[in-house]
A and B are shown apart, each in its own frame.
Chain A
Amino acid sequence: MASGVKPRVKVPKSAAAGDSIVIKTLISHKMESGQRKDSDGNVIPRSIINRFTCEFNGESVIDVAMEPAISTNPYFEFEATVPEAGEFKFTWYDDDGSVYEESKSIAIG
């Protein structure tokens, strides 16, 4: 696992049924592009998060294929429909096989 990886997500605590809400996510990650060289001239191998997904109660909101051109500490903002109370699940997939997960519950009211 890359060191110091920490996800943050911002989801409202509640919404009316059927509402659309704004979700923001950020995860601390170097996103080493594979294009840089160290001081000895050797290429620093690529090490990025290559996929991010958000699901609500098991159904997809967004599925993002990520390339090395995504900035360090990847940030996404998107909108989701909230049909009922439940749980958002966020997953980031690292090149090295690590999977980082975060979840947030939302109430109807």
Chain B
Amino acid sequence: MELTRRNAIIMGAGAFFVAGLPLRVSAAGEEAIAAFTGGAEIGTGDIKLTAPEIAENGNTVPIEVSSDGAAEIMVLAMGNPTPGVATFKFGPLAASRYASTRIRLAGTQDVVAIAKLEDGSFVQASSTVKVTIGGCGG
């Protein structure tokens, strides 16, 4: 982006507001969860989501998910324009139900991981990631 005066003002305003804004959520996120679970109840417990509390840059945020009994784990970024991130389906030769990747977050928001366990039940974990905006565009 060319740094015009107008953009500079917009960027400045963006940085100013980031702390005060409520977390962004989307109905699409809830729909994606319903599609994954078929509306089944979601418990807590056998699932772990590791994400930084503060991401230096929303473009590349490292996350890890694991759940001992999972057949699949779906990850959602609830505040992104499209909430889907990835769904990990573990095969017979997966040594653990663990995966790590790097994701994009459009702003400060909740990241949600839902595991479909081998017994057909669902568990969920979530983590709020603050995304830093503002600084030197260089």
Contacts and interface: CB of A to CB of B under 8 A. Distances in A.
A62 B88 contact: yes
Q: In the complex, which range does the number of interface residues on chain B fall in? A: 20 to 34
Interface stretch (B12-20, B39-47, B93-101, B125-133): B93-101
A60 to B, nearest CB: 3
B121 interface: no
A40 interface: no
A91 interface: no
A75 to B, nearest CB: 5
A101 interface: no
Contacts of B99: 62, 64, 76-78
Contacts of A35: 81-82
B82 A68 contact: yes
Size range of the chain A interface in the assembly = 20 to 34
Contact of B104 (A64, A70, A75): A70
A72 B61 CA distance: 11
Contact of B93 (A60, A65, A74): A60
* Interface of chain A: mostly helix, strand, loop or mixed: strand
Contacts of B24: none
A79 interface: yes
Nearest to A75: B102
Interface in B68-91: 77, 80-91
A70 B93 contact: no
The residue in B77, B95, B100, B103 that gathers the most chain A C-beta atoms within 10 A of its C-beta is: B95
B89 A81 contact: no
Nearest to B106: A35
A71 to B, nearest CB: 4
A55 to B, nearest CB: 8
A69 interface: yes
Given A64-B86, A69-B104, A71-B60, A21 B92 contact: no
A42 B86 CA distance: 27
A80 B89 contact: no
A69 B79 CA distance: 11
Given A66-B86, A77-B99, A81-B94, 6 more contacts: A35-B81, A63-B91, A77-B100, A78-B99, A79-B96, A83-B93
